[in-house]
Amino acid sequence: MSMATGALLPSKPLTPSVNHRRLFPGRPTITISGPPTTTSLSLPLRSSPDYWASANADIQAHLERAIQIRHPLAVSEPMRHLTFSAPETTAPALCLLACELVGGSRDQAVAAGSALRLVHAAASAHEGLLSSRPRTDGPNFGPNIELLTGDGLTPFGFELLARSEPDHSNPTTRAESSSRVLRAIIEIARASGSHGMVEARYNEIEMIDGSGGDDEEWVERVCKKKEGEIHACAGACGAILGGGGEEEIERLRRYGVYVGMIRGIVAAKRVGRGGRRWLERKVGELRELGLNELKGFNREKVEPIASLMLTSEHDRRLRMTD
Amino acid sequence: MSMATGALLPSKPLTPSVNHRRLFPGRPTITISGPPTTTSLSLPLRSSPDYWASANADIQAHLERAIQIRHPLAVSEPMRHLTFSAPETTAPALCLLACELVGGSRDQAVAAGSALRLVHAAASAHEGLLSSRPRTDGPNFGPNIELLTGDGLTPFGFELLARSEPDHSNPTTRAESSSRVLRAIIEIARASGSHGMVEARYNEIEMIDGSGGDDEEWVERVCKKKEGEIHACAGACGAILGGGGEEEIERLRRYGVYVGMIRGIVAAKRVGRGGRRWLERKVGELRELGLNELKGFNREKVEPIASLMLTSEHDRRLRMTD
């Protein structure tokens, strides 16, 4: 791409350091070992990345079709790159699996899953502007382009979702279907907005700037807000779009909070003062709470979504911290 | 507010200068004097800021109710400030007036008008990050908070619009109404997205970084993309939400482009190589084209929307450049 614009800005970042991987520098890292937890639901939590990979592949294909390379390339190209190179998140896959769990078909949720991936990519692009570590996982477009690209990804997510309204000839079905799409837009707007992911990023910065906080405070103010809210939104959106009832929607929203918190804790790769014992206990508690929310659903269909709480990807990452 | 977070970032801006008021530094400024243009429609273009003021007051009231001050104040307070202190734009008012022109009632378009104001405020907040001039029109929150606040304003706009779906008991009416809201979301997402306002900001930076371009190029690549697209979107959204036909929607979209381009040219307060004669001719041409698009509508009802092409506010601004 032409770097004329990128060159306008110095590569110097906006802030000395906002890097969640270094929230607790110098503290020990841990590995969760031993057999996967078995919960009161007696559901074996198997490492099943296949469900996640398959849902993600559907979202990837949807986005590949949607993001067209067009002039100016300096706008299109970073958009594509920053979408597909953003840090992994299970929220989009959770959206599709929640839709299937309540009896919907995956394609009803694929636009919402794509929108979740886009708002997450937008936040990641802008998070880079708050970090002292230059991006190492691909081209560095410079803060100017990363700012503008992030600004473009969020509306694009809402556009994809709004376009996904199915074309029903029956007015009652059409009205119901449009209402679900509008409700999903509200959910994603709230989760990605000033009292969702934006507030989480604010809390994260404030904690780093302050004392750092203790483990519990970090989990509540950062993990719950950041990964928790976007996963909660994903669970609720999937259930809404799949035609789930209100109780199912709220159960999958709460389930999403627990999945997100586990993901947030594991992704940070660091443990606070409580050490390994605290982290194992915390993740165990969250899994228990999460599985509890899945109790009301058909047990045969629960495995894919439950697998998001423990995957080989997680195990691999945890082992890497040794 | 707590400036703990703002303090994380140096007040140094991201780029040396991206300030559209200085696109053509050192070139002469002009004043448009004489009687307002009379067009082939024989419509007197009267200075009528009342319509604009009244539509803006409705949007302001809607936003005042919607933006609640809640914890954390460091997130809510800048959100409120950056929304209400953003540079003026006639796009939200155009949305309401277009809705009325096609026979709708103003309240059908007030959420869309508010969303337009929010995406415009988000772009303005982030534009400050690309400017060498520190904000002088109120508290300076620092780039960290301005980045995060801008990130929160865009989803909030889509949330407000998605929430505006009226509650009809008749499924056909409800389906129609939801479809209009979804269509308006698509319009605003496109206008504020990577090939709308984002591309305009990219073009602006590129032109400053390059040769500066000539007057015509600047009007096409910056004014048409930046103010033109958001006003085009406003005209189309108003017509969609007011139940206008496809031809009315497209006429008001094109009308919006001309209004936006005029606003963009006047707001920049500078003339390029063509000097005063070029600018007067250009604005005259755009007014002519704009009024031409209004020909198909009820002449009695055209005055409010036509007044957006020439208001006392514009006259005042132009005189200030003497």
**Concatenated DSSP letters of B187-230:** HHHHHHSTTTHHHHHHHHHHHHHTT---HHHHIIIIIIIIIIHH
Q: In which residue are the tokens 């709460």 written?
A: A254
Instruction: Please list, in sequence order, all residues whose beta carbon lies within 8 angstroms of the beta carbon of residue A237, skipping any fewer than 6 positions away.
Output: A95, A98, A109, A112, A116, A184, A187, A188
In chain B, which ranges are E strands?
none
User: B277-286 long-range CB contacts below 8 Å, 24 or more apart?
Assistant: B278/B215, B279/B30, B279/B32, B280/B30, B280/B32, B282/B215, B282/B219, B283/B32, B284/B37, B286/B258, B286/B261, B286/B262
Nearest CA in chain A to B182: A162
- Interchain CB contact of A15 with B (< 8 Å): yes
CA-based radius of gyration for chain A: 20
Cα A137 from Cα A129, distance rounded (Å) = 15
Cβ atoms A127, A86 nearer than 8 A = no
Could you say which residues from 252 to 281 on chain A have a Cβ atom under 8 Å away from some Cβ of chain B? none
Show residues of chain B in contact with A171, CB under 8 Å.
171-172, 174-175
Instruction: Please list, in sequence order, all residues whose beta carbon lies within 8 angstroms of the beta carbon of residue A318, skipping any fewer than 6 positions away.
Output: A30, A31, A32, A266, A269
Tens of pLDDT along A171-206? Answer: 888 888 999 999 999 999 999 998 888 888 888 888
- Interchain CB contact of A3 with B (< 8 Å): no
Backbone phi, psi, residue A155, to 5°: -60, -35
Interval B106-125 mean pLDDT:
96
Of A171 and B136, the one with more pLDDT: A171
- The pLDDT confidence band at residue B44, using thresholds 50, 70 and 90, is very low
Tens of pLDDT along A4-33? Answer: 333 222 233 333 222 333 222 333 332 333
Does residue B8 register a pLDDT over 70? no
From the list B198, B207, B188, B192, the residue with the least C-alpha distance to B268 is B207
* pLDDT score at B138: 60
**Secondary structure of residue B38 in the 3-state scheme:** strand
- Interchain CB contact of B19 with A (< 8 Å): no
Q: What domains appear along chain B, each with residue ranges and CATH number? A: 26-165+172-320 (1.10.600.10)
Cβ atoms B78, A202 nearer than 8 A = no
Nearest CA in chain B to A183: B162
Nearest CA in chain A to B119: A155
Cα A305 from Cα A254, distance rounded (Å) = 13
- In chain B, % of residues over pLDDT 70: 75
From the list B311, B259, B262, the residue with the least C-alpha distance to B282 is B262
Inter-chain touch A75–B14, beta carbons under 8 Å: no
Cβ atoms A236, A49 nearer than 8 A = no
Q: What is the SS3 string spanning A275-310?
A: HHHHHHHHHHHHHHHHHHHCCCCCHHHHHHHHHHHC
* pLDDT score at A17: 29
Cα A269 from Cα A262, distance rounded (Å) = 11
Inter-chain touch A151–B122, beta carbons under 8 Å: yes
* pLDDT score at B36: 38
Report residue B32 as tokens.
């448009």
Could you say which residues from 168 to 207 on chain A have a Cβ atom under 8 Å away from some Cβ of chain B? 171-172, 174-175, 178-179, 181-183, 185-186, 188-190, 192-195, 198-199, 201-203, 205-206
CA angle B298, B304, B307 (to 5 degrees): 115
Instruction: Please list, in sequence order, all residues whose beta carbon lies within 8 angstroms of the beta carbon of residue B140, skipping any fewer than 6 positions away.
Output: B11, B134
Give the amino acid at B59: I
Query: What single DSSP character describes residue B19?
Result: -
Could you say which residues from 153 to 172 on chain B have a Cβ atom under 8 Å away from some Cβ of chain A? 153-156, 158-159, 162-163, 165, 171-172
Show residues of chain A in contact with B229, CB under 8 Å.
none
Cβ atoms A63, A117 nearer than 8 A = yes
Tens of pLDDT along B173-201? Answer: 888 899 999 999 999 999 999 888 888 88
Report residue A15 as tokens.
């802030």
What is the pTM (predicted TM-score) of this model?
A: 0.83
Query: Most distant CA pair in chain B: distance in Å?
Result: 62
Of B253 and B43, the one with more pLDDT: B253
Task: Name the β-bridge partners of A44.
Answer: A38
Cβ atoms B155, A116 nearer than 8 A = no
Cβ atoms A59, A113 nearer than 8 A = yes
Report residue B287 as tokens.
């007014």
* pLDDT score at B142: 79
Nearest CA in chain B to A119: B155
Show residues of chain B in contact with A155, CB under 8 Å.
119, 154, 158, 188-190, 192-194
Of A269 and A77, the one with more pLDDT: A77
- The pLDDT confidence band at residue B131, using thresholds 50, 70 and 90, is low
Preceding omega of B72 cis (within 30 degrees of 0): yes
Inter-chain touch B155–A126, beta carbons under 8 Å: no
Q: Examine the predicted complex and report whether its ipTM is higher than 0.85.
A: no
Does residue B1 register a pLDDT over 70? no
* pLDDT score at B272: 60
From the list B125, B113, B198, the residue with the least C-alpha distance to A154 is B198
* pLDDT score at B6: 30
Task: Name the β-bridge partners of A38.
Answer: A44
Burial code (b: 16+ CB inside 10 Å, e: under 16) for B182-221 equals bbbbbbbbbbbbbbbbbbbbbbbbbbbbeeebebeebbeb
Cα B54 from Cα B45, distance rounded (Å) = 18
Does residue A94 register a pLDDT over 60? yes
Q: Which helix (H) or strand (E) holds B232?
A: helix B229-241
Sign of torsion over alpha carbons A307, A106, A240, B181: positive
What is the CA A172 to chain-centroid distance, rounded? 33
Instruction: Please list, in sequence order, all residues whose beta carbon lies within 8 angstroms of the beta carbon of residue A285, skipping any fewer than 6 positions away.
Output: none
Pick from B12, B144, B164 the residue to mutate for testing the A interface (most A CBs within 10 Å): B144
Cα A128 from Cα A142, distance rounded (Å) = 10
Cβ atoms A197, B152 nearer than 8 A = no
Query: Among A144, A192, A206, whose Cβ lies nearest the Cβ of B130?
Result: A144
